[in-house]
Amino acid sequence: MSLTPESQGLTLTVLGCGTMGISILGGVMATLADTRLRSHIPSPSPSGTSTPATEPPERLPSKFIACDSRREAEKTVKAGLGHYNFPLTTLTNENIRGASQADVILLACKPQGFKDILGEKGMKEAIAGKLLISILAGVTGKQIEDFLYPDGVPENACRVVRVMPNTASAVRESMSVIAASNPPLSPAQHSLVTWIFNSIGRTVSLPPTNMDACTALCGSGPAFFALMLEAVADGAVAMGLPRQEAQTMAAQTMRGTAGLVLNGEHPAMLRDKVSTPGGCTIGGLLVLEEGTVRGTVARAVREATVVASQLGQGVQGVNGTRR
């Protein structure tokens, strides 16, 4: 795939454009809109030194195609993205057409559905030589390549890269993990993938062997944190706080704590700073430790990792039920 500045921007197609697809497209469009706005605002005169921003790719998405199997998805896509005022086409049961017109393809269907989409007659030809980004939980890049090219990867094969974002993409606060590729992506391809997922939050790159654990931590993590947030809000309600205010206070407190950690504060040091001798915090912490909260939460991540590793194998649930 060549990302050169000669022609207009890239066309980004989403195959299986549900909630995650809409969130990612929304983040990309919002970032493009922000860039467009800043280009019309004069920059202040530089003073002192600053860290330069990461250089964007030479070519960015400028046209978008959303494909789905459900007719009602077209209305949902337009409602979620129409206000960004970028060229947007919605297609129902026309994956080949959407892939043929794309430069970059985002595979965002359910994990068990990728063979139906990529197995369509003509799909291999439609995606030949293009960048295929998969966000499917439990499905490895090698599984996709082996399905597309059972007789070996040809010269004009698409380039598959696996990324694990999470549901916070909807508010551009996702934690996305990009699986390292072998052979590595070209600098232009890597820059484009990183830019796309930086538009919806933060990114890190890790080996493919880590992706099931990343799915558990980043993909399932919002549900784990939501449960803990709800629990502390429940405790506050039990002590007399109104439900809505308690929930807002709990969410902002969790957000602030996360911000401190992202700014370099170690969780253990942060915990110790708040725990004054004989105070309320250490009393509450001891109750949590007596309830084995730390071990239980860690075990939840381990269990989710095991289940994530089975998703791409057609196995569902803790007991390994075959779909």
Q: What is the DSSP string of 187-254?
A: HHHHHHHHHHHHTTEEEEEE-GGGHHHHIIIIISHHHHHHHHHHHHHHHHHHTT--HHHHHHHHHHHH
Is 264 annotated in a binding site? The answer is: no
Q: What is the pLDDT of residue 40?
A: 61
3-state helix, strand, coil split of the chain in percent (to 5) is: 50, 15, 35
Q: What is the pLDDT of residue 137?
A: 86
Is 218 annotated in a binding site? The answer is: no
> Residue 75 is encoded by which pair of tokens?
């209305």
Note the pTM of the prediction, 2 decimals. Answer: 0.85
Is 95 annotated in a binding site? The answer is: yes
Q: What is the pLDDT of residue 6?
A: 40
3 state DSSP class of 132: strand
Total residues belonging to the chain = 323
Q: Give, for 79, the enclosing helix (H) or strand (E).
A: helix 72-81
Q: What is the pLDDT of residue 44?
A: 52
Residue of 135, 20, 136 lying closest to 80 (CA atoms): 20
What contacts 247, CB < 8 A, 6 or more positions away?
Answer: 229, 230, 233
3 state DSSP class of 176: strand
Is 222 annotated in a binding site? The answer is: no
33 conformational bin, left if phi > 0, alpha if psi -120 to 50, beta if neither: alpha
Structural domains in the chain, CATH included, are 10-38+53-206 (3.40.50.720), 214-309 (1.10.3730.10)
Taking a C-beta distance cutoff of 8 angstroms, is the pair 96, 65 a contact? no
Is 43 annotated in a binding site? The answer is: yes
Is 19 annotated in a binding site? The answer is: yes
Is 109 annotated in a binding site? The answer is: yes
Is 79 annotated in a binding site? The answer is: no
Q: What is the pLDDT of residue 141?
A: 93
Taking a C-beta distance cutoff of 8 angstroms, is the pair 219, 137 a contact? yes
Positions of the chain with pLDDT under 50: 1-7, 45-53, 323
Q: What is the pLDDT of residue 257?
A: 96
Is 108 annotated in a binding site? The answer is: yes
Distance, in Å, from the CA atom of 127 to the CA atom of 104, rounded to the nearest integer, reads: 9
Q: What is the pLDDT of residue 4?
A: 40
Q: What is the pLDDT of residue 54?
A: 59
Helix axis angle for 243-262 and 221-238, nearest 10°, is 130
Is 18 annotated in a binding site? The answer is: yes
CA 182 to chain centre: 21
Taking a C-beta distance cutoff of 8 angstroms, is the pair 238, 229 a contact? no
Distance, in Å, from the CA atom of 177 to the CA atom of 135, rounded to the nearest integer, reads: 10
Is 280 annotated in a binding site? The answer is: no
Is 111 annotated in a binding site? The answer is: yes
Q: What is the pLDDT of residue 3?
A: 42
